[in-house]
Structure 1
Amino acid sequence: MVELTVPYENRMEEAHIYKREKYMNLTKELENAGYNAVVMPIEVGARGFVGSSVYDLLTKLSICGNKRTRALKLLAEIAENSSRWIWSRRNERFLHKD
C-alpha cells in the first residue's frame, strides 16, 4: 500500500511516521488473514522537495537510473506547480465554504 502525503518540507519526517503508524493495525489484520502487506508512506513536499521515501519506493518498484531521476524530477515539478496553482487561487470563491 502506498500512501502519498504532501506536507510542508519541515514536516516530512513527522508525516512519514504518522502515516506508517496510521496503517499499522490494517497491516496486521491483513497479515493475520494470510496476506503479505507492506505500507509505504511517501512524501513529496508542497514546494517540490521529494522525500527519500519516494526514492526508496521507486527502487523497490525496479525504477532505477535515468527513469528514476526523471520520475523524481517530474514529481517535484508537479508538486510545486500544484501548490503554486492552489496559492494563486486562494481568494477565489470556490475554495471557500460559505
Structure 2
Amino acid sequence: MQSIPQIIMVELTVPYESRMEEAHAFKEGKYLDMTKELKKDGYEARVMPVEIGARGFVGSSAYGLLSKLSIGGNKRTKALRLLAETAENSSRWIWSRRNERLLHKD
C-alpha cells in the first residue's frame, strides 16, 4: 500500500482581536487554488490559518493546529502561552516604534 504525501501549510496572522474571523476566512481563500493544484498532483494538502490576536488572545485555530500536529497536554498549554506572549510582545515592540523612520516610506 502506497502512502499519500501530506502537506500542511500554516499561515500565522496577528490581527486585532475583532478581525480574527475575517483574517481566518481570508487566509483560507488565499491558498484555495494552491491546495487544489497539490491535490491534483497527488498530495493530501491542507491549509491551516492560525490567528493570534495582537494583544495575545490565542484563537481556536492555534489549538486546532497543535492538536493536528499531535501536541497535547502540558506541551500544548506551554506552546499556546508562548504564542500569546510572543504576539503581544511583538505588537508592543512595533507600537513603541511606530514613529521611527524605518517603518514609514517617504
TM-score of the superposition, structure 2-length normalised? 0.89
Tell me whether 1:72 sits opposite 2:57 in the alignment.
no
Shift of 1:36: 1.0
Tell me whether 1:24 sits opposite 2:16 in the alignment.
no
After the TM superposition, which parts of structure 1 deviate over 2 Å for at least 4 consecutive aligned residues? Answer: none
Identity over aligned pairs, percent = 77
| Structure 2 residue ranges without an equivalent (≥5) | 1-8
TM-score of the superposition, structure 1-length normalised? 0.96
Shift of 1:81: 0.5
Write the mapping of 1:1-98 to structure 2, written as runs, cut at 5 A: 1-98=9-106
Choose between structure 1 and 2: higher helix proportion.
Answer: 1
In 2: Cα distance, 1:84 partner to 1:69 partner: 23
In 2: Cα distance, 1:18 partner to 1:93 partner: 30
Shift of 1:39: 0.7
Shift of 1:96: 1.3
Q: Alpha-carbon deviations, 1:61-92, whole Å to 9, x = none?
A: 11100110010001000000001011111111
Choose between structure 1 and 2: higher strand proportion.
Answer: 2
Number of residue equivalences? 98
RMSD: 0.7
Q: Alpha-carbon deviations, 1:1-58, whole Å to 9, x = none?
A: 1111111100101111111111111101110111110111110111111100000000
Output the amino acid matched with 2:57.
Answer: F
